[in-house]
Amino acid sequence: MNLQLQKPGLSQGELHHYLTRGLTPSLRQKPNSNLPQYDISSVTADPAAYSRPTTERISTRLADAIRASGYILDLEDDWDEEGSSRFSEATWERATNFVKQLALSYRQSAGIWIDPPRILPGPKGSIDIHWKTSKREVLINVPDDDKCPADYYGSGGSADIIKGKLETSAKNEWILVWLTR
């Protein structure tokens, strides 16, 4: 496999770094002109991340998915032509932090990164997280009110259903264990 083709623009040194330790800070901060730009420094630009165990850093794909979901914050009032209000940054951060923590926990226990979810505008100012694998999928709704727990429903067939509410600040790694079972 030609890794240079998969990661165009990486120098030899950067490629080595990417393969062994993840993206370098300079690459991680490189803007993507096709997408809205958001400060995700808490996710990727923390220099201390390099002194932590490998599992403290998030995958490039997850960072990209979180960055891309920032378009939600660009949506203005009446964005759907049905009079819906814009989304709050606090709700988006709660949802994306939840996703990061889940992925990190799973990485620590399973040793691999899971494919990132779709992070989407939800009803009434909430954020939807749609996480799907080849066998199962789950829809998690993070409400606008930070005092309310998230609501989830997942299925891998009629006899394989999970549903309920969860605290986004708690460890919920079991969801990804179920999803990837």
Partner 1 sequence: MANEIISPWEKERILDDAILYMRVHKNHFDLDGKLIPRVFQNRGDGMSTDWNKYSTQEECQQRARKPSENAIIQLPVAEVRKIADQKVEHTPIYEPLSEPPILNRAHTDVFGEKTTEARFHFMKIYSFAIRLEKQS
By CB under 8 A, name the binding residues for partner 1.
35, 68, 71, 75, 79-82, 118, 120-123, 128, 130, 139-141, 151-155, 163
Residue 41 CB contacts under 8 Å (≥ 6 apart), including other chains:
none
Judged by beta carbon, residue 43 or residue 65, the one nearer partner 1 is 65
Alpha-carbon distances of 19 from 6, 12, 23, 66, 116, rounded to whole Å: 12, 11, 8, 22, 19
**Minimum gap (Å) between residue 6 Cβ and partner 1:** 20
Nearer to partner 1, 40 or 104 (CB): 40
Min. distance of Cβ 54 from partner 1 in angstroms? Answer: 29
Residue placing its CB nearer to partner 1 in the complex, 15 or 120 = 120
Give the span between the Cα atoms of 90 and 97, in whole angstroms: 10
Closest approach, Cβ 35 to partner 1, in A, equals: 8
Nearest-angstrom CA–CA distance, 67 and 58: 12
